[in-house]
């Protein structure tokens, strides 16, 4: 993500494109480090989950394993998270997103794609020695989506970003 203290415009544009309609929204990785997409869902019941307590976190928990109402959300959002977790956790987050969506619901995500400079999940500064980071490619993302149970998705590399919407049928 880039500076300025807010989620970069490409993220909000992408999530905003797929925001409506939504009565219930789950965000996996909701801690507000540099802005939030929560305002795009102002009329919805919004549940933010993150492993670290902080702004915009309603429930502290692991996005790959938390259970807050399977088959009960219209939209599951995950922005700028998958580059900070290993493949097993990334696949688990996407599988858990699928489990929480109602039939017809949408999984909307963004992450760092090939070419994005490494950045910390703590504060966007350089990576600390103990942090995990890797850019996500479209092939890995498609495998995770298919393995999670999604049958239909749209992946769009956008500059150094990777963005996707997938539907639960």
pLDDT tens digits, one per residue of 126-143 = 999 999 999 999 999 999
Query: Would you say residue 88 lies in a domain?
Result: yes
pLDDT in tens, 46-90: 999 999 999 999 999 999 999 999 999 999 999 999 999 999 999
How far is it, in rounded angstroms, from Cα 5 to Cα 87? 28
Query: Would you say residue 2 lies in a domain?
Result: no
Short-list 86, 148, 80, CA closest to 120: 80
Query: Would you say residue 107 lies in a domain?
Result: yes
How far is it, in rounded angstroms, from Cα 11 to Cα 1? 9
Q: Write down the pTM of the prediction.
A: 0.93
CATH code (residue 99): 3.40.50.150
Q: How many domains does the chain have?
A: 1
Radius of gyration of the chain, Cα coordinates, nearest whole angstrom: 14
Domain encompassing residue 152: 9-167
Query: Would you say residue 3 lies in a domain?
Result: no
């Amino acid at each position: 993500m880039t500076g300025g203290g807010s989620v970069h415009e490409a993220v909000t544009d992408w999530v905003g494109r797929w925001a409506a309609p939504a009565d219930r929204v789950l965000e996996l990785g909701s801690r507000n480090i540099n802005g939030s997409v929560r305002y795009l869902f102002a009329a919805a019941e919004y549940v933010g989950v993150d492993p670290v307590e902080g702004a915009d976190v309603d429930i502290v928990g692991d996005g790959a394993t938390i259970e807050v109402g399977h088959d009960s959300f219209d939209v599951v959002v995950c922005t700028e998270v998958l580059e900070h977790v290993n493949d097993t956790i990334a696949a688990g987050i996407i599988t858990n997103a699928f489990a929480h969506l109602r039939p017809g619901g949408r999984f909307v995500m963004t992450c760092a794609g090939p070419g994005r400079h490494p950045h910390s999940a703590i504060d966007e500064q350089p990576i600390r020695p103990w942090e995990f980071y890797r850019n996500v490619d479209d092939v890995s993302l498609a495998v995770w989506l298919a393995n999670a149970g999604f049958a239909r998705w749209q992946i769009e590399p956008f500059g150094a970003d990777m963005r996707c919407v997938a539907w639960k049928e």
